[in-house]
A and B are shown apart, each in its own frame.
Chain A
Amino acid sequence: MKPWHSLEGKTIWVTGGAGYLGSAITAALDTQCQQVVCFDLPGRAEALVRDQALVRTIPRSSDVNDAAGLPAAIDAVIAEHGLPDGVVHLAYASSGGKTLETLSAAEFQQTFNLSLTPTFVLCRALAERMKARGTGSIVLFSSMYGVVAPDVHIYRPPLTPNPIDYGASKAAILQLARHLAVHYGPSGLRFNCITPGPFPSPAVQSENAEFVQALRTKTPLHRFGHNTEIVGPTLFLLTDSASFVTGHSLVVDGGWTIW
């Protein structure tokens, strides 16, 4: 008998599935699902499948930040690979390298056009297809900076503080999950967020020693997260282990937001 939290036989999509957090999730799903569809920028998903010798992962070079093109793109993938049982949506965009004083209105708006609106379009398109089946779990990604503001003192030049458009759009993701959870709950669909704390990529770890030390000091567990530590929480929300959990933000932050 397979455990009731199993992903055996399931099809899961991961957007942004070749990034630092996404690659750990995709690799874990590859060992447990029947099929994983990994969406990322051109070439990245293909490289992940090749480098990690993934066997059940289908790479897709799709622009999931393009709200206008998303419904047709989703229909095409469903026609080819079937309706997914669960979706992990990590793809996002934000401004970079600008101070709050120099960020233009257009740059601020761009983050919402490329991150928030596509998240809404993706969720609604999938939910409208999933509701006839009556099951589905969608896991969105917020951020600790959608919950609390960045401490500007730990960002020394050349680093600029985590941008305001990023945090504002990640805060909005939390509300998308709650609204969608309530709307589609009677149809048997669940929407939740993972809210990660500090998970600096290997490049950040090697290039910004002082910053990374500040991240450690500010975290109650006194260390930053490793990308493998985002896997368990994500799989929990995808599976029937979380069958009565919906509209929730699961904070995976070593305690960053509790003090």
Chain B
Amino acid sequence: MLGRMAVAREIVGSVNFFLSDASTYITGANLPVNGGYTAK
């Protein structure tokens, strides 16, 4: 875990990524933006 909480702008990259053509071969996927909270 990153040992800190997020700031709001750290969600922006993920939203942009899913909306853009950077993710054309991704569908049905879940992208946790949680600093590794669910990795342990």
User: What range describes how many residues of B lie at the interface?
Assistant: 20 to 34
Contacts of B1 in A (CB 8 A): 181-182, 185-186, 246-247
Q: Contacts A182-B1, A185-B1 known; A246 to B36 CB distance under 8 Å?
A: yes
Contacts of B28 in A (CB 8 A): 220, 255, 258
Contacts of B40 in A (CB 8 A): 178, 182, 247
The winner among A190, A229, A232, A245 for most chain B CB atoms within 10 A is: A245
Contact B25 A181 (CB under 8 A): no
CB contact list, B1-40 vs A, under 8 A:
1-3, 6, 9-14, 16-17, 20-29, 31-36, 38-40
Q: Contacts A185-B1, A248-B31, A254-B27 known; A232 to B13 CB distance under 8 Å?
A: no
* Residue total for A at the interface (Cβ-Cβ under 8 A): 39
Q: Contacts A178-B39, A182-B40 known; A244 to B29 CB distance under 8 Å?
A: no
A205 to B29, CA, bound (A): 26
- What per-residue 1/0 map shows which CB atoms of A167-197 lie under 8 Å from chain B? 0000000000110011001101010000001
Contact A181 B13 (CB under 8 A): no
Contact B25 A185 (CB under 8 A): no
Residue of A nearest to B10 (CB): A244
Q: List 15 A-B contacts (CB under 8 A).
A: A181-B39, A182-B40, A229-B25, A230-B25, A232-B17, A232-B20, A235-B22, A241-B13, A242-B14, A244-B33, A246-B35, A248-B39, A253-B25, A253-B26, A254-B27
- A residues contacting B by CB (< 8 A) are 4-5, 177-178, 181-182, 185-186, 188, 190, 197, 220-221, 225-226, 229-233, 235-236, 239-248, 250-255, 258
Known interface pairs A185-B3, A244-B35; 20 further A-B residue pairs with C-beta atoms within 8 A, sorted by A's residue number: A177-B39, A181-B39, A182-B1, A185-B1, A185-B36, A186-B2, A188-B2, A197-B25, A226-B25, A232-B23, A233-B17, A233-B23, A236-B13, A243-B13, A244-B10, A245-B32, A246-B2, A248-B36, A252-B26, A254-B25
